[in-house]
């Protein structure tokens, strides 16, 4: 793929993400994305032949950026750095992109092999830390639950409660 094609694809994905964040999942149409990206519908269809392909492209882009940010955060940590980077990344993500993840939850993105590989790679790195497998699984499943709670209208957690959970997970990652 040429550099120009990569840039156009990125523009389309970013436009779709902005549309999701500003107007929600129901506003995500091929026409709306093309308009937001200031391109023709045919130009969009060249990169994404249908809405499903566009959504899969969005989700894959999210996970690729998620992975890149994970490894940047790893370099800022010392002890049990993978687990602490994972905690930081997930809580940062929840505060920045939660609307986006609501949209991606609508798609069977877990069937996407590239997305599975990206996430599995991150989880494999957590095993490199000096924590037992049960603690790592407890941290991971707690974060999964925090994501679920963020998207649920049933007994949502307050910002204070979310911060307390984050701090407790850090203490677990420190081996306390």
What burial class does residue 117 get, using C-beta atoms within 10 Å of its C-beta: 0-12 exposed, 13-18 middle, 19+ buried?
exposed
- The total of other beta-carbon atoms located within 10 Å of residue 51's CB is 14
pTM for the full predicted model? 0.79
Report pLDDT digits (tens) over 97-144.
Answer: 665 565 555 555 556 777 788 888 999 999 999 999 999 999 999 998
- Return the DSSP state at 2: -
Name the CA radius of gyration of the chain, rounded. Answer: 18
Lowest mean pLDDT, pick from 84-88, 128-132, 154-158: 154-158
The dihedrals phi and psi of 31, each to the nearest 5 degrees, come to -60, -45
- Give the model's pLDDT for residue 100: 53
């Amino acid at each position: 793929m040429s550099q120009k094609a990569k840039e156009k694809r990125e523009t389309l994905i970013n436009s779709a993400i902005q549309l999701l964040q500003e107007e929600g999942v129901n506003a995500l149409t091929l026409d709306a994305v093309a308009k937001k990206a200031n391109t023709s519908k045919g130009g969009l269809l060249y990169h994404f032949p249908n809405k499903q392909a566009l959504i899969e492209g969005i989700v894959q882009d999210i996970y690729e950026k998620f992975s890149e940010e994970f490894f940047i955060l790893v370099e800022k940590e010392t002890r049990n750095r993978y687990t602490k980077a994972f905690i930081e990344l997930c809580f940062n993500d929840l505060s920045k992109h939660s609307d986006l993840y609501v949209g991606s939850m609508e798609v069977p993105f877990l069937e996407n092999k590239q997305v599975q590989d990206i996430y599995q790679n991150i989880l494999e790195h957590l095993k490199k830390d000096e924590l037992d497998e049960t603690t790592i699984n407890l941290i991971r499943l707690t974060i999964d639950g925090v994501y679920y709670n963020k998207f649920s209208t049933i007994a949502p957690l307050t910002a204070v409660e979310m911060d307390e959970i984050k701090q407790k997970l850090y203490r677990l990652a420190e081996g306390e």
